[in-house]
Amino acid sequence: MLVEVEKQQLCMNQLIAKKNDVVKVEGDIIVNDVKPDVLSILNTNGIVCVYKKEVMDGKLRIDGCINTYIMYLADDENGSARSLNTTLDFTQIIDLEKCKVGMSVDENIILKSIESKIINGRKISINAMMDIAITVYANECIDIIDSVNNQEDVQMLNETIKLNTLIGEGSNIVYAKDTVMLNETDDLAELMKVDFRIINKDSKTSYNKVVTKADAEIKLMYLTEDNRIKTINAIIPIMGFVDIENITDDSMCDIKYKLKNLIIKPNSGDASNSIYVEAEIEISCLAYENKEISLIKDLYSTENDFKCKENEITIMTRREAYLDVYRFNQEVIVPEISNNKIYDISANPNVITTRIQGNTLSYEGDLNIKFIYRNNEVVETKEVTTPLMFTMQLSNINPTTNISTDIEVRKDNFITGDNGKINADIELGFTAIATDYERINLINEIEKSEMSCDNSYSMVIYFVKEGDTLWKIAKKFKTRVEDIVRLNNIEDENKIKVGQQLYIPKYVKRSVAV
């Protein structure tokens, strides 16, 4: 028969699977009839949007696109710089054996590279490589046995563990919209390059809500009707909130911003010297709290046979965010640029390896700086790559700790000097999320039956073996730890020696006088 128990319910964020994948996206673009032929490619950049993800049994489907901007040297008498814009759609189905419908998935997509090649003067092929890091969670409420009712003969071994329990999760769609005004003398002809990033992220909790704010930073390079190349920056506020019940100021919030769609188009009519920008952004949040719970690690009865059913789960025992800043302030020499006009400079960090040694987290990679400039009335590009080495000090990490890192370019200021000398002042924000998991067995059902045999001994002499504990010995002989301690005058029940002689008394049920 089943033993009557008391239970508490905990909502846990269980790790189900982690997977990294590389996705290749290819496509072609045909040059519009009104534009000149392509002589050479100057620059290609792209912005990834994920507008849909679907969790299926054993699979994850991701639908999105790469907004692509190609800058090329035209095959005309002026050797002018022109541009092509296109959208590369992609659908990626990733096999995840343990994935089930209803589970939560966090995807982190990084556009590692994008390049264009000329097929002929009117056709260009585009090849993009994306790194996708997938984490699958099961946000489930689990019943944990607190105590056993009406069983005075039950001996329980409890263990206190620390863990992160999930308070709740939620998401919301917000829109960052604005009209970017150009100079009055600039009649827009073409968009040549677009950079988009989300910076200055901040949040606070209030009345069962997570209130978020950030900025969308847009950098637009464009061509005017009179063949001038100009660049303009704009900051658009991103305000939003996510509803999560029972959240407090002490809760840890894991907030992600995902770009779902980006619209950038020239306005017409009276507003022809302006550009409309609209970013559709999904803000998602997982809210956690630190908690200590007492688990029944083992139990037995001195009078009955117990059979326990267990369920093994993986729980999150710790989730902690570490923030640090990498500063690159050096002089970069690019002789090709000399004193020519620079149209655009962009910095792109690329982390190749991540290592944990002690409490130190080390990153190694490179920092790529790309220049677009004018050389003798011709637009050219130049890339400079410098080593990127950075360490962060973290506490309580080990080689099995899961580390996920988000790198944000917070600042990239460049001051040009003579003879191609450029002072680069770049600030990268590193956010490392350290997560520890532990596999535990949960007793979720106890069944008892009458003891199969009745030992006739009153006391046993036992010699301690390797791996023994007083709990194991007491369970074996269906007695109690405190009786063994008292009879053998043991000062510390956690300190017994191999070969030590112990007297093991038979447990006698004590009746209570009425």
Residue found under tokens 């907030």: 255
DSSP 98-155: T--TT-EEEEEEEEEEEEEEEEETTEEEEEEEEEEEEEEEEEEEEEEEEEESS-TTEE
What does the pLDDT read at residue 451? 64
CA 110 to each of CA 41, 47, 53, 133, 136: distance values in angstroms, whole numbers, following the listed order: 23, 10, 16, 9, 18
Q: What is the pLDDT along the chain (514 residues), one digit of tens a residue?
A: 777 777 878 777 777 888 888 999 999 999 999 999 999 999 999 999 999 999 999 999 999 999 999 999 999 888 899 999 999 999 999 998 888 998 888 888 999 999 999 999 999 999 999 999 898 888 777 888 877 877 677 888 888 888 888 888 899 999 999 999 998 888 889 999 999 999 999 999 988 899 999 999 999 999 998 889 999 999 999 999 999 988 888 888 889 999 999 999 988 877 778 999 999 999 999 888 888 888 888 888 888 788 888 888 777 888 888 999 999 999 988 888 887 788 999 999 999 899 998 889 999 999 999 999 988 888 999 999 999 999 999 888 888 888 888 898 988 899 888 888 899 999 999 999 888 888 888 887 888 777 665 555 678 899 999 999 999 999 999 899 999 999 999 999 989 999 999 999 876 655 444 3
Residues 6+ away with beta carbon under 8 Å from 491: none
List the domain boundaries for the chain: 17-137, 159-294, 322-436, 456-505
What does the pLDDT read at residue 514? 36
CA distance 461 to 472: 15
Residues 6+ away with beta carbon under 8 Å from 214: 198, 199, 200, 201, 202, 237, 238, 257
Number of helices and strands in the chain (H, E): 2, 20
What does the pLDDT read at residue 255? 92
Strand order in the sheet with 378-393: 342-357, 360-375, 378-393
Residues 6+ away with beta carbon under 8 Å from 386: 328, 330, 332, 366, 367, 369
CATH numeric code, 456-505: 3.10.350.10
Query: Other C-beta atoms within 10 Å of 315: how many?
Result: 21
What does the pLDDT read at residue 410? 87
